[in-house]
Amino acid sequence: MTDVAAILSSCKAMLTGHFLLSSGKHSSQYFQCARLLQHPEKAAEVVATVADRIKADVKAGKLAVDSVIGPAMGGIVVAYELGRQLGTPAFFTERNDEGVMALRRGFEIQPGEKIIIAEDVVTTGKSTLETAEQIQAMGGVVVASICVVDRRPADAEEPFPWPLYAALRQPAVLWDADACELCKEGNTPAVKPGSRKVF
């Protein structure tokens, strides 16, 4: 069986340390999936763990898929790779001038088109839901979501009214800055994941 965590770790897509996230919270772990997706063979191996489950469900008649859509930036390569493995088209949504997640570049959805939304990381599910809104407004039907890492907190409720297939389920452990266990233990100060100190 594919050890997704080991692959993520080997390409430094899964980092352990003391991180200050964009939400202002502190965490002991951070995922930078771009560092997995820069290695096409490793990305294919990780996405295959999800694609194989989807193919099995399609074969069992539980799921039908026409295409895959990924919200930019994180979802673009994941959607492409899933579409490649499923043999379906793959395209993406991106924010328009009004800041709305939209289909641009002449991408079209047919009425009733069955679509999977692909993401790198799902934490709150917000961008998946925004993308779903756009798909549904254009007459498409969201049949499933996929992600590389499902980081929803352990006590989170199911985020979507359709199934979520994740290559890795790794609930986020987050602290408010003034209640951070790592700060209390006197570790080095939290760093922003994008900073040079980490990479």
Q: Does 180 bind Zn ion (CB under 5 A)?
A: yes
Binder of Zn ion out of 138, 183, 191, 198 (CB under 5 A): 183
Q: In what order do the strands lie in the sheet with 14-20?
A: 14-20, 26-31, 174-175
HSE-up (13 A, CA, CB side) for residue 91: 15
141 binding Zn ion? (CB under 5 A): no
Stretch that binds Zn ion, among 30-38, 134-142, 165-173, 179-187 (CB under 5 A): 179-187
Q: How far apart are CA 174 and CA 1, in angstroms?
A: 29
Q: 20 or 47, CB closer to Zn ion?
A: 20
Of residues 12-41, which lie at the interface with Zn ion (CB under 5 A)?
26
Of the candidate residues 21, 72, 156, 182, the single one contacting Zn ion (CB under 5 A):
182
Comparing CA positions, the residue from 190, 192, 194, 170 lying closest to residue 178 is 190
141 is known to lie in a ligand binding site? no
- Tell me: is residue 124 an annotated ligand-binding position: yes
Taking the C-alpha atoms of residue 130 and residue 191, their distance in angstroms, rounded to an integer, is 29
Half-sphere exposure of 120 (CA within 13 A, CB side): 20
Residues marked as binding for 5-phospho-alpha-D-ribose 1-diphosphate?
Answer: 95, 119-127
Residues that bind Zn ion (CB under 5 A): 26, 180, 182-183, 190
